[in-house]
Structure 1
Amino acid sequence: MRLRRLHTHNCVAEQAKILVAEAEENNKRIDSAWLRWRKCSLCGQNYHGVVACALGWACWKTYVDRSETDEARKMAINVLGNGLYEARHYEESLSVKEAELSMRRRVGASKQNMLGMQNNLAGVYRMLGRDEHATRMLRDIYSGRLKLHGEEHKETFGAALNYASSLVKLLRFEEAKSLLRRTMPVTRRVLGDTVQITLKMRLCYAFALYKADSATLGDLREALATQEDTERIARRVYGGAHPMTTVAERDLRNLRAALRARETSGIA
């Protein structure tokens, strides 16, 4: 079985090399040919796990001797970092992604690309349990998106949600609530109430409301109303089996229990 997998990886790698080489010889952009390094040509699914990792190493070895300014080499280090991440080699992925970020700075990558790479890097920090570092990076990414795109852009909404979620994970609920109170109304106005990013923001906000040590009875009731509305929309739009709906249901049960306990205690 191991030999069969190795043979498959080698075949895919050779096909990718040939397609990229043909595009370069014909002075064409290599983007479409490059997809062969990332996804299966038959089913169209992205490679994952050990397959993505093996192809990442094969890709890097193919183009590592080229100049840092060479497009294929710049893309190859990204494939390697993602492949290591897919195989859960997070420390190795972190080293590669940090090297890629430094390299991109040297060659003058666009602000858009730099923010995207920083976002990927923050994801690795979180997988390694380095949540404070990840949160600082996500704060800078949100600030960068806000400056680059403005407050009504989908990329800005995504950055705000990532930052808020990271704040919640660190139990910094007041900061998360403040951020979400600014961004949720804009997100709902621009994208509507049924898209996942809006629903996730509302779930995050309700969680921060009722988990905060300073939560009042009014906060819990606001959180409950927000959660019930979010769960209802998720069920109607995405169905009862969708992860968005199941998460909303779980949080709703917990919130109702917390509210009952508060009301029983008589604490306002």
Structure 2
Amino acid sequence: MILTQCAVCATDLGLTRGKKCGRCNTRYCGAACQVQHWKEGGHDTLCKTIKRAGGAEQYDANKKYAEAVAVAATACAEDTKGQTCYICTQALHWKTKEGLVRMCACRGTAGFAHVSCLAEQAKILVAEAEENNLDVQSRWKRWHMWRRWDTCRLCEQDYHGVVSCALGWACWKTYVGRPEADDARPWAMTVLGNGLYAASHFEDALSVREALLSTMRRIGADEDILLDAQSNVASAYADLGQLEKALSMERDIYSDSVQLLGEDHLDTSISANNLARTLCELSRFEETKTLLRKTIPVARRTLGEIKDTTLTMRKTFAEALYRDPGATLADLREAVTTLEDTERTARRVFGDAHPITEGTEDELQDARAALYARGLP
């Protein structure tokens, strides 16, 4: 984790407060906790090990990475049985002995790999891009460069679930030693936060995203980057059930995105999608429908029909239609039709096991049940 808590009492230290062990940089809220950790917490035996690993953050990142890889390989064990890595061609990794993963949109025998192999591939590709200065001029070029850490090179779709989480830790442990002002460190924090979020580790994702936002503010990042960081924080609040707090942030983020970036920008569509999801969760169905009737046509025109943001917006719109207590028969039929089309597209693009496919299928069943409750097919 981005180390923002006292190692003994878990007091929140942010990124600047408290004390550090002079040898390994383990953080404490004060001298009392530091002494206690040395005498009673085992730090006297671990301190040299942590230092040899590169310090507290590096040690923690290495440990969390190993744990995440084990979880990912176990989750994918049934799907990967009898397969080999498309990068190293082995079933077990020659060095780590880890199993295979997939969790992208590849089908059949394609896309099986070791997290270690995927991480090494991403590290090489990013290094080549940095060497060729492909990331200098444009934020979007930089982001597409870093997407090599969480996007399958074969199907060109995002990894999801625990595989995305493992790759997030792989990215973070690779660049954690970079200086704060180095471009690689905040991008690696972004990849880690997204990976934790994809695996539903929302509290950890929030911690990383808040640390990233604090860093971006401190180093004077551009306004569009700050908006993106704020949007990620708000999403974590929403999934932790802090809906009113998320809603307040998301209203401002969407408004600022429209003014700064324009209605056709990807970030504006993402912020509209996040705002709509929170409104729907709060049962503000008319507001949800009004917002999405305006923004879905823009997303379909600028992003395309198969983009995950477009599909999620359509799913949320259908949910607002059928969940509204005042829904008419026409509303229910439109919800079912929209979800059927969205589910077919998601299944074709992402596969059966993708969260968007599974989530849309669940909503479709509920929408059909609402329609059948009216006694209609």
Structure 2 length-normalised TM: 0.51
The residue number in structure 2 matching 1:221 is: 329
Q: CA deviation at 1:101?
A: 0.7
In structure 1, which of residues 68, 75, 78 is the aligned counterpart of residue 187 of structure 2?
75
1:114 pairs with 2:226: yes
The residue number in structure 1 matching 2:244 is: 132
* Structure 2 gaps, min length 5: 1-68, 71-95, 99-113, 136-141
In structure 1, which of residues 165, 181, 186 is the aligned counterpart of residue 277 of structure 2?
165
Question: Which amino acid counterpart does residue 97 of structure 2 have in structure 1?
Answer: R
User: Is the contact made by 2:150 and 2:164 (CA closer than 8 Å) also made in structure 1?
Assistant: no
The CA distance in 1 between the partners of 2:303 and 2:122, in whole Å, is 41
Listed one character per residue, the Cα deviations across residues 123-146 of structure 1 (whole Å, up to 9, x for unaligned) are 322332322222222222221221
User: Is the contact made by 2:196 and 2:205 (CA closer than 8 Å) also made in structure 1?
Assistant: yes
The CA distance in 2 between the partners of 1:238 and 1:13, in whole Å, is 27
Change (3 A) 1:148 1:46: same
In structure 2, which of residues 74, 94, 97 is the aligned counterpart of residue 4 of structure 1?
97
User: Is the contact made by 1:123 and 1:134 (CA closer than 8 Å) also made in structure 2?
Assistant: yes
1:174 pairs with 2:286: yes
In structure 2, which of residues 362, 365, 372 is the aligned counterpart of residue 250 of structure 1?
365
The residue number in structure 2 matching 1:264 is: none
The CA distance in 2 between the partners of 1:173 and 1:208, in whole Å, is 5
In structure 1, which of residues 184, 187, 193 is the aligned counterpart of residue 298 of structure 2?
187
CA RMSD of aligned residues (A): 4.4
Instruction: Count how many residue pairs are aligned between Structure 1 and Structure 2.
Output: 251
Q: CA deviation at 1:169?
A: 0.9
Listed one character per residue, the Cα deviations across residues 215-264 of structure 1 (whole Å, up to 9, x for unaligned) are 1xxx4123134225425644776679862873564244123134349xxx
Question: Which amino acid counterpart does residue 235 of structure 2 have in structure 1?
Answer: G
Question: Which amino acid counterpart does residue 102 of structure 1 have in structure 2?
Answer: S
Change (3 A) 1:10 1:140: same
Question: Which amino acid counterpart does residue 72 of structure 1 have in structure 2?
Answer: A
The residue number in structure 1 matching 2:78 is: none
More helix by share: 1
The residue number in structure 1 matching 2:170 is: 55
In structure 1, which of residues 73, 78, 94 is the aligned counterpart of residue 206 of structure 2?
94
Question: Which amino acid counterpart does residue 211 of structure 1 have in structure 2?
Answer: R
Question: Which amino acid counterpart does residue 142 of structure 1 have in structure 2?
Answer: Y
The CA distance in 2 between the partners of 1:239 and 1:82, in whole Å, is 22
